[in-house]
Structure 1
Amino acid sequence: MSTDKWNLSFKVQRKSGMAAAEWNGDNRTIEQLIEDYQPGYSMEQQFYRDPEIYQREIENIFLKHWILAGHVSQIPNAGDFFLFEMDRESVIVIRTRDGEVRAHLNVCRHRGSHICLEKQGNAKLLTCPYHAWSFDLDGNLVSARLMAEDFDKSQNGLHAAKVELVGGLIFISLSDNPPSLATMRKDLGDVFDTFGFDHMKLAASKTFPIAANWKLAVENYQECYHCTPSHQEYAKIHALALAPEKFAELKEDYLAASDGSVRQEESSCYFDRAKPGDEGYQYGRNPLLKGMKSGALGGEAVAPLLGKLKRHDGAASEFMVGPLSFFLIYNDHMVGYRFVPNSHETCSCDVFWFVRDDAVEGRDYDLEKLTWLWDITTQSDEEIIVNNQKGVDSHFYRPGRLSKMEYFEQSFLNWYLAALKG
């Protein structure tokens, strides 16, 4: 179907084992929709509305890749836990008695009830509130009342999720064979060391529910074409909001003045560049506007310097891992973004603020000043994304031409379509 055709009717059906969408009499399969995508443009309406496409995304993306779950500072003691939730899944992230971080599906092996009903807490045992089956912190079933003599508790432990730590960041995957993080660890080891990833703590977090398809939220994060008209506060601090030519000049000046204490060169095998079997990642460093030190009101520093840093050099690093977890690293704090779907029509953006693990609130940093920029920016993004969804839902929506400032969004779209195809 030409991108000039208006999408006038929508009906999801099964055809030849694949979802098909009737759009003005056009019965293309998901594979045909992928094949018909025109590079340099946004995607057709089906990708943001079709529940069958969404289920394919759950299987091919969300159940396979690594996703930021939280931080070790949230669970300092044995038995401390918190829940990570997306779509229909709930995962218990917990500190075991031997100090390990583990993750278990929050699904009782008896009849499937959720076990942990609170978002966070401390437990000596994980006891199902329905029939009192109890599991230890490692997920082993230790008690099941009145079962038959041939019942084997050792075969009825909680389903485990894979866990990887990147510094103190906790990533989980629901795949039995998730992509490897080894290439990323080797490539970015110096970055993690410079910024002290092993010596941070979570200072604050906030969840922003968004009444839109998850891809519109991720696509919005991929480009700064909207930053100047939509984020006045951001645009007064970050050079990325500038036109490409002006940004290039400022970056050239910044690189010329750099003392090499922070890695400058981009490192990327992200999205469509990742090697088979590897998780995609990206690292880059970009200047702030002249005179700016950090992402705060007036560009002022708001917390102690991270890791091995000795000064503010007027720049910030970007670190991305997998398709849903993003980080912006200022010299004095780090901001994490996580995008997760709740349904094909809704998603959430979770924002995390990290500081040095020895920083004391009220003495070394003020929480309101620390969170100000990305709180107000994400609130604006929520409105932008919801309005985007409303327009995409229109009978008269057609894919539009991408700008030269949306090149990274194009990389995301290329990766997404390949992942959807499988």
Structure 2
Amino acid sequence: MTVHPTVEELLQRREQGHSLEAPLYTRADVFDLDMDVIFRRHWIFVGVEPDVPEPGDCMTVEVGASSVLILRGEDMQIHAFHNVCRHRGARLVTAEKATIGNIVCRYHGWTYGETGALLFAEHMGPEFDTSCHGLKPVHLRTLAGLIFICLAAEAPDDFDRMAETIAPYIGPHDIANSKVAYSYDLIEEGNWKLTMENNRECYHCAGNHPELTIPLQAYGFGFAPDELDAFHRADAASYEGAQASASARWTEMGLPSAEREELLNATGFRAERLVLSGAGESHTLDTRRACGKLMADFTQADLGALSFWTQPNSWHHFMADHAVTFMVMPLAPNRTLVRTKWLVHKDAAEGRDYDLENLIRVWTATNQQDADLVALTHGGVSEPAYEPGPYSRFTEGLVEKFCQWYVARMSRHLLDAALRMPAGAPVAAE
């Protein structure tokens, strides 16, 4: 009989600087634990404030078996609840986006206010206490227009650390006063960790992303200096000089650009503003702005691209003319949702200020290319011949930090669980 290693054993024997063992990508019990430990107990990115711009606007987000209802109230505050009626469990809102007044369950008419309080429940009798049957809240925080939720009873307490560090970077782009120009869901045929690892490096960019490498220079994501010939050394030096010059100019404008990285925190994050090629304005094929009306109160378009990464499930790019956000949500051990949103100034008009195809071309192409690579990799790690391979210390450092974060968070949970269990009780799934 084949004895499979426990999740705890797989985590303990992970070799630093190498990819994970196959079962951590492929096994169903690992996936279930990922959903419980990572996606139910950490702050996860789910959307942007422009998803719910006006009072009564709401959206639903599916996190594994949980449906979360996110609603903008009359006070303009955003609230999050489990999307489950407290009567007999019916889903309250079934659309991804809607505009509602009170929250009314279509099954028996139980009615909730914007704070989740139960306002009306017919035929329940005079002794029924409505105050005991409000919607179950979900932790929600916003960061400069980005929406994060946590399904745990107690959320990690370091969100403020991320917010204080990153708000000065994202804030000038005024995301709250933008609008969603386009939203696109792509299902990748691979494990969510492979999706995240693929995003955390640009080692693969030159040979796989012809559109993205027009505005985005791979030098910004690392290179091996000893492997460069004279031409490429001069090219790298030119890039570093351009980055230094642009950073000085951006700093004078009140736009932080220096790398800030705390990827190993419970709420891990990283941000950096990088110079773009050519005109230096946007992620477009001609490197010029895609939207004529700039975001916020910007008067210059050549502000490079601010990149912001969070553990465990997002990355974002903010430019002077538009922003692009990415949410990763696991669906199965071998299926992952990547939801991409393009944001422009709320007063920008399609056909006048921007051409939608031009706005989304670079990242729709890049997303599909990445999805193909993730599928190739998942197929490979599923084969008996697979064994963890070494990362490049020059270009895959952020992949290593993602794996370190994942192993640390999972290991801490299993240790805490072991300390709570009676002696002899099983700790990890087989």
Tell me the TM-score range normalised by the shorter chain: 0.7 to 0.9
In 2, Cα distance between equivalents of 1:88 and 1:352: 23
Matches for 1:46-125 after TM superposition, within 5 Å: 46-125=23-102
Partner of 1:322: 311
Deviation of 1:94 after TM superposition, in Å, equals 0.9
More displaced, 84-93 or 358-367? 358-367
Partner of 2:259: 266
In 1, Cα distance between equivalents of 2:352 and 2:309: 31
Tell me which amino acid in the other structure corresponds to 1:326.
W
Partner of 2:107: 130
Alignment length (residue pairs): 394
Partner of 1:416: 406
CA contact under 8 A between 1:67 and 1:324: conserved in structure 2?
A: yes
CA contact under 8 A between 2:271 and 2:308: conserved in structure 1?
A: yes
Q: Deviations over 1:318-347 (max 9, x none)?
A: 112332121112222111111011122211
Distance 1:113 1:344, change over 3 A: farther
TM-score by length of 1: 0.87
Specify the SS of the correspondent of 1:188.
helix
TM-score by length of 2: 0.86
More displaced, 140-149 or 359-368? 140-149
Q: Deviations over 1:98-146 (max 9, x none)?
A: 3221111111212222111222212222222333322222211222233
In 2, Cα distance between equivalents of 1:197 and 1:250: 32
Tell me which amino acid in the other structure corresponds to 2:407.
L
In 2, Cα distance between equivalents of 1:292 and 1:415: 33
Q: Among residues 383, 391, 395, which one is paired with 1:402 in the alignment?
A: 391
CA contact under 8 A between 1:291 and 1:314: conserved in structure 2?
A: no
Structure 2 unaligned spans of 5+: 226-231, 413-430
Runs of 4+ in 1 over 6 A off after TM superposition: none
Distance 1:387 1:346, change over 3 A: same
CA contact under 8 A between 1:240 and 1:286: conserved in structure 2?
A: no
Q: Deviations over 1:348-385 (max 9, x none)?
A: 00001112233222222221111111111111111211
Deviation of 1:148 after TM superposition, in Å, equals 5.0
Distance 1:103 1:178, change over 3 A: same
Specify the SS of the correspondent of 1:121.
strand
In 1, Cα distance between equivalents of 2:94 and 2:212: 38
In 1, Cα distance between equivalents of 2:167 and 2:152: 25
CA contact under 8 A between 1:44 and 1:398: conserved in structure 2?
A: yes
In 2, Cα distance between equivalents of 1:290 and 1:253: 15
Tell me which amino acid in the other structure corresponds to 1:409.
V
Q: Deviations over 1:1-44 (max 9, x none)?
A: xxxxxxxxxxxxxxxxxxxxx8xx44422111111101121111
More displaced, 131-140 or 235-244? 235-244
Q: Does 1:387 align with 2:376?
A: yes
Q: Among residues 285, 292, 298, which one is paired with 2:273 in the alignment?
A: 285
CA contact under 8 A between 1:250 and 1:287: conserved in structure 2?
A: no
In 2, Cα distance between equivalents of 1:324 and 1:352: 14
More displaced, 312-321 or 294-303? 312-321
Partner of 2:424: none
Q: Among residues 294, 314, 320, which one is paired with 1:305 in the alignment?
A: 294
Distance 1:263 1:250, change over 3 A: farther
In 2, Cα distance between equivalents of 1:101 and 1:256: 39
Deviation of 1:248 after TM superposition, in Å, equals 4.6
Q: Deviations over 1:71-92 (max 9, x none)?
A: 2223233222111112111111
In 2, Cα distance between equivalents of 1:94 and 1:193: 22
In 1, Cα distance between equivalents of 2:257 and 2:54: 37
In 2, Cα distance between equivalents of 1:62 and 1:295: 30
Partner of 2:172: 194
Specify the SS of the correspondent of 1:282.
strand
Partner of 2:5: 28
Partner of 1:14: none
Partner of 1:10: none
Deviation of 1:292 after TM superposition, in Å, equals 3.9
Partner of 1:15: none
Deviation of 1:288 after TM superposition, in Å, equals 2.1
CA contact under 8 A between 1:290 and 1:314: conserved in structure 2?
A: no
Deviation of 1:149 after TM superposition, in Å, equals 4.6
Partner of 2:283: 295
Deviation of 1:156 after TM superposition, in Å, equals 1.0
In 1, Cα distance between equivalents of 2:236 and 2:16: 25
Specify the SS of the correspondent of 2:199.
helix
Tell me which amino acid in the other structure corresponds to 1:91.
V
Q: Deviations over 1:295-334 (max 9, x none)?
A: 0122121123333544244631111233212111222211
Tell me which amino acid in the other structure corresponds to 1:330.
M
Deviation of 1:241 after TM superposition, in Å, equals 6.3
Structure 1 unaligned spans of 5+: 1-21
In 1, Cα distance between equivalents of 2:244 and 2:28: 50
